[in-house]
Amino acid sequence: MTASSAHSAVTSKTPEEKRLARRVVVFICLLPTLLLRGVSVEAQQASKLYRIGILELASPSASIDGHNALRGGLHELGYTEGKNLILEYRYAGGKLELLPELAAELVNAKVDVIITRSTAAIRAAKNASTIIPVVFTAAGAPVEDGLVESLARPGGNVTGLALLSADLDGKKLELLKEVVPKLARVGFVWTTGSARADLRVREVEAVAKSLGLQLQSLGVTGSGDLTKEFEAAKTGGAQALNFVPSPFLFTNRSLIFAFATKNRLPAIYSTSDFVEAGGLMSYGADLLDNWRRAAVYVDKILKGAKPADLPVEQPTKFELVINLKTAKQIGLTIPPMCWRGRTRSSNDSAE
């Protein structure tokens, strides 16, 4: 074989080899373009500025811990205020009548998501828009209150985290009996017209009976009724009070605390914000954990998920919170057993 024929044999390629070579060349040429497109998409995502609305029935001071937990959860997911996130706050300061107006303000601000809690605030956000997603961090009975169609398939534009407060009423009675060993009669304070109210009273009466306790049902509808029912509790010989959470009771918490302190009555609530404000004790879902978990909902929604397809989640952490300062004021000694492995002192603890 000559040098010329040898060179020809080495360099000659079959048609299939030539097509493969062209594909390799084309891919190599396209690779920088694809990489640049990927960088461009990431840059667009990083430069997107999301606006999140937060609607609160309470005041800023009563909400700060939850909002800090939310910001921490969002930061872990890549959202930073001033960089790709703006938080719009609206506080009703305990005034229920302001919620619809504040919700409308958030809608007009064109927020991407509204985060809120409590039935009244959730309903205000839901009524303000059927398009903007609403994520709640604490809802006592979201299905019964008509906030979602079901826990598994919320439907509409609302979803979030429930409280399971009704399921914990019996546990709250047990804790009251631990704190007050000679307890015999408990006033059960609930707001009339709330979801499953009558059924809830019957269920708690059954638990009270099993614990050897008498339950005095105290249904309230307004501030006048609250004072009236408190007097009934006093006259009826109630030795402690068990409260069902509601916006009405939260907005009247100062009146509640004053009555309980004056009459040296131990009282237990379903959420820790009552205790942080001066109440004695609470047992229920860890609200700060719910706020952190709400960040996951927000992240999924901002990435395209629909609230209607995101199931309402139940709480995974529960806590017993005791205000030692309030216990001291009413002359109550908290048994050591109440502290083991399941409690934390509130920020208003004894000195």
Residue 245: give its domain's CATH number: 3.40.50.2300
Is residue 25 domain-resident?
A: no
- Asked if 266 and 157 sit in the same domain, the reply is no
Look at residue 261 and give its three-state secondary structure. helix
- Asked if 174 and 129 sit in the same domain, the reply is no
CA distances from 257 to 20, 164, 172, 288 (A): 81, 24, 18, 23
- Asked if 118 and 205 sit in the same domain, the reply is no
Is residue 1 domain-resident?
A: no
- Asked if 69 and 181 sit in the same domain, the reply is no
Cβ–Cβ < 8 Å for 270, 244? yes
- Asked if 222 and 333 sit in the same domain, the reply is yes
What torsion, rounded to 10 degrees, do the Cα atoms 335, 336, 340, 346 define?
Answer: 70
- Asked if 268 and 180 sit in the same domain, the reply is yes
State how many domains the chain has.
Answer: 2
- Asked if 200 and 299 sit in the same domain, the reply is no
- Asked if 258 and 302 sit in the same domain, the reply is no
- Asked if 74 and 212 sit in the same domain, the reply is no
Is residue 17 domain-resident?
A: no
Is residue 213 domain-resident?
A: yes
- Asked if 303 and 339 sit in the same domain, the reply is no
Q: Report CA 258 to chain centroid distance, whole Å.
A: 28
Question: Mind giving me the DSSP string for 199-216?
Answer: HHHHHHHHHHHHTT-EEE
This prediction's pTM = 0.79
How many angstroms separate the CA atoms of 108 and 262, rounded?
A: 45
Is residue 326 domain-resident?
A: yes
Taking the alpha carbons at both ends of the chain, their separation in whole angstroms is 103
Which structural domain, as residue segments, surrounds residue 105?
47-163+287-309
Is residue 27 domain-resident?
A: no
Handedness of CA 54, 154, 97, 118 (dihedral sign): negative
Is residue 23 domain-resident?
A: no
Tens-digit pLDDT string for the chain (351 aa): 444 444 444 445 565 655 555 554 444 444 454 444 444 434 444 568 999 999 999 889 889 999 999 999 999 999 999 999 999 999 999 899 999 999 999 999 999 999 999 899 999 999 999 999 999 999 988 998 899 999 999 999 999 999 877 778 889 999 999 999 899 999 999 888 765 677 788 888 989 999 999 999 998 887 677 888 899 999 999 999 999 888 888 888 889 999 999 999 999 998 888 998 899 999 999 999 999 999 999 999 999 999 999 999 998 889 899 999 999 999 998 877 555 434 444 444 333
- Asked if 243 and 190 sit in the same domain, the reply is yes
Site of tokens 């009826």 = 236
- Asked if 96 and 72 sit in the same domain, the reply is yes
Give the number of C-alpha atoms closer than 13 A to the C-alpha of residue 51, restricted to the C-beta side. Answer: 10
Is residue 153 domain-resident?
A: yes
How many angstroms separate the CA atoms of 113 and 295, rounded?
A: 11
